A and B are shown apart, each in its own frame.
Chain A
Amino acid sequence: MMHYLKYFFYSFILIVIQTQVLRLLSLEGITPDILTIWIVYIALKRGQLQATVWGFIIGLLFDLITGNFIGLAALTKTIAGFTAGYFFGENKTPLTLGSYRFILIVLLVSFIHNTIYFIAFTQGTEISLLRAIFQMGLATTFYTAVLSFLPMFAFARKYIS
């Protein structure tokens, strides 16, 4: 029970950081998505079911806070949590978190998440589908993957050495 509260609190803090602090790191309007990294962490730590539910909760909170389409981030982050859950392995968690595999998982999950998110987000706008996927989706994916090096190094230090 305690860890649910802890996760909820961390999720809230990370959403605030995502919406208020990470804009300072935005390049050409592209911002890294630490919530996806967080969901991947939950998936590797707690398994697919919890990652899916937490993905939904985090996405819904994000939607409510940002005032965008309610349900969109909930949908995409649910799918992100579910996808990341496939890489859960109880005995391998420390090894995965502290290695390049963490980056690759973030890269894959983030790509799926961003592709769905930006395709839906740009509907009804003049932004083309290709631009939504390749320019916005891929750029955000790579930026997120680059940022995931930070937790990876921290995990490597904590679990491996």
Chain B
Amino acid sequence: MQRLVNIILLFKEYFVLALLIIFSLILLNSNDNIQLRAIRSYTVGFVGLFQDAFSIIPNVFELKRENEILRQLNVNLSDEVNRLREARLENIRLRAMLTLKERVEFKLVTADIVGKSLNLLRNTITLNVGENDGLHQDMPIISESGLVGKLIATSGHYSVGLLMLNKDFRASAKIQRNRTDGIIAWDGGEVLRLKNVSKTQDVRSGDIVTTSEYSNLFPPDIKIGFVSKVTETPGSLFKEIDITPSVEFPSLEQVFVVTAVHDTERVALEKKTSRIKK
């Protein structure tokens, strides 16, 4: 017995180590023990008092990291807000287009603008629809805001439209209020011109201008814009009338092409009489 005690005393460090390791492992295995949990809850509660006291000291590194995370979050949220705003605007635009589609009687083909020029004297747009969608030359292009232009060239899947902001564009138009007729044209400025309106006609700023029944290309009563300025030049028989287009050309993204608008019988008759006149 004495010998055993001597051995234990000689290797006491190892015995103590072994005992404490075994005890630690038992504790590790008893982590869900109710008594241990109770002891732990007491100590955690006690230390909580210290935690409260120390929590007023800010951690500079943590604050820096938190700041970085918040900045990143801010960027992400801003991006999301922008995308939502974009989606909202698109929603408004598409709703307006849908309303127009339901309102008008003629058949419409929806098109996305895939190319646009607005800085030239002959401005055009390229659409992602073409002959395969039943389109051909001279078909009117409109949007929910009003008249846009007409098709001048088509291929299988694409078509090119002539905008109202083009030197070659002409359309029969009328003042909605009193049915005064004229010809819409563009001289290269920011506004359109309503031409051939006699000085005797009553035209006022704010009057709405629409397409007239005299046009064999455009359906009647499509909004073109409103009168923004009326000038009477001495020596001239006609008024100079500026028309602000109702369509926002720079932000235009989707349009409709009006199909089956031509009254073929009328067009044929007008062509025939035109030849007789010549």
Contact = CB atoms under 8 A, between A and B. Distances in A.
Interface of A: 16, 19-21, 23-27, 48-49, 52-53, 55-56, 59-61, 63-65, 67, 69-72, 74-75, 78-79, 82, 85
A70 B59 contact: no
Contacts of A26: 59, 61-62
Contact of B44 (A67, A69, A78, A82): A67
B13 A52 contact: yes
B50 A16 contact: yes
B10 interface: no
B51 A20 contact: yes
Contacts of A20: 47, 50-51, 53-54
A130 B12 CA distance: 35
A49 B28 contact: no
Interface string B210-247: 00000000000000000000000000000000000000
5 contacts: A24-B58, A52-B17, A53-B16, A64-B44, A75-B24
Interface string B1-29: 00000000000110011001101111111
Given A24-B59, A64-B40, A78-B20, A71 B54 contact: no
A87 to B, nearest CB: 13
B16 A70 contact: no
Contact of A75 (B28, B47, B54, B60): B28
Question: Contact size class for B?
Answer: 20 to 34
Interface of B: 12-13, 16-17, 20-21, 23-31, 36, 39-40, 43-44, 47, 50-51, 53-54, 57-62
Contact of A69 (B21, B23, B31, B58): B31
Contacts of A67: 40, 44
A136 to B, nearest CB: 17
A85 B24 contact: no
Contacts of A24: 57-62
A82 B58 CA distance: 36
A16 B167 CA distance: 84
Contacts of B13: 48-49, 52, 82, 85
A75 B25 contact: yes
Contacts of B24: 56, 59, 71-72, 74-75, 78
Nearest to A55: B20
A24 to B, nearest CB: 5
A16 B47 contact: yes
B54 A27 contact: no
A65 B28 contact: no
Nearest to B47: A65
Nearest to A72: B28
A40 B260 CA distance: 94
Contacts of A21: 54, 57
Contact of A53 (B20, B44, B53, B57): B20
Given A24-B60, A27-B61, A72-B28, A78 B21 contact: yes
